[in-house]
Structure 1
Amino acid sequence: MAKPRKPRLVRNRATRPAGPSRVILLNKPWGVLSQFTDKGTEGSARETLSSYVNVPQVYPAGRLDRDSEGLLILTNDGRLQHRIAHPDTKLPKTYLAQVEGEITEEALALLRKGVTLKDGITRPAKARRIDPPDWLWPRDPPVRYRKSVPDGWLELTLTEGRNRQVRRMTAAVGLPTLRLIRWQIGGWTLGGLQPGQWRDA
């Protein structure tokens, strides 16, 4: 009779650091990858986090698309990184989106209820129309406008993190996103950080 196999031990990669935990809040500029090295095609010159954060053993908790701006959290705490990035935690993330088109109550209602995308219906979101932020830095390069089409600003709070979700949601309700800034993750906010600046949380 064969001996029963011992259960295989699975290492939990989400571990705490040997030293003190560190949490860094970065205002990621437009056009910067949410990683420290460019793993794209050879010879590409895409900018990475290494241009802004020179701190050893910290890694992004989640990601922010290259063409999006705003809050990116970096940490050396694997458990915290997992909690921030994993969709099961439903950690709220708030975005400010400049969109093309007239923001109607019908569009807001759809965003709040949940929008049908190719990968399923989104969770209900908090959505409201806001005035253009008077504290916002100018984008480099500037946003391209169409003079014949109005634009406005939305504040959206999501509890999931699908690929390019905000852009897909606004497009689905007829409001293509022109500019996207992440303002808040859980209890952490961008505060007064300018593009490329960071601070310890």
Structure 2
Amino acid sequence: MAGMGPAPKPGAERRRRNATHATTKLPAGGRTGEVPRWPLLDDIVMTTQRDTAQRTVDELELQLLEPTLKGRPRAAAQRKLDAARSELNIVSAQLDAARRVEAELWTELWATPQAAAWERLGWTREVAQYVRWKAKAEQGDMDAAKEARQLADRLGLNPLAMLRLRWEVAEDEVAEQRQDRTARTRPASARQRLKVIDPNAAAGGT
């Protein structure tokens, strides 16, 4: 990402060169605890569009109640009302979908290893901004997708960004020990049991 500078070397490479760079260890099992309260209001643009569409529907419905409205004017008003209702339904559905996606993403993100660092740094609103742009991106907004990618870098949501932030997921030592024990006790495979035989020795050659 522009302005962030080159990524630090991975931990293994730094250790080989005896370099000392402070890193933040993140829990492999993710952050535990309650999910923070959602800090943002509903999307202002979508909320305004919904309210405007609702007002248009209300006005047209009142207009159609006028007994003097007949013939072509009435038919025209009815077409406008149908279009306004359609727009209202679409915007309301989009707003509801955005709320659902935001709630799901918000909950998922606060269970990640990175969330432990966000909590220490107080990045609640920054994470919420990412969630908002990501929800828009999932509805096909390409500009929102660009914003979401930039915020993902800042929040350490990809390996390169984690290197730049000097964040490392702590190794799960218990799981590694379990895997080592399993490897030691697992029977050798048929390939491992095969031995390379010298054909000359087998034939009694010199």
Q: One fold, TM greater than 0.5?
A: no
Structure with bigger gyration radius: 2
TM-score by length of 2: 0.20
TM-score by length of 1: 0.20
Which structure has the highest helix share of the two?
A: 2
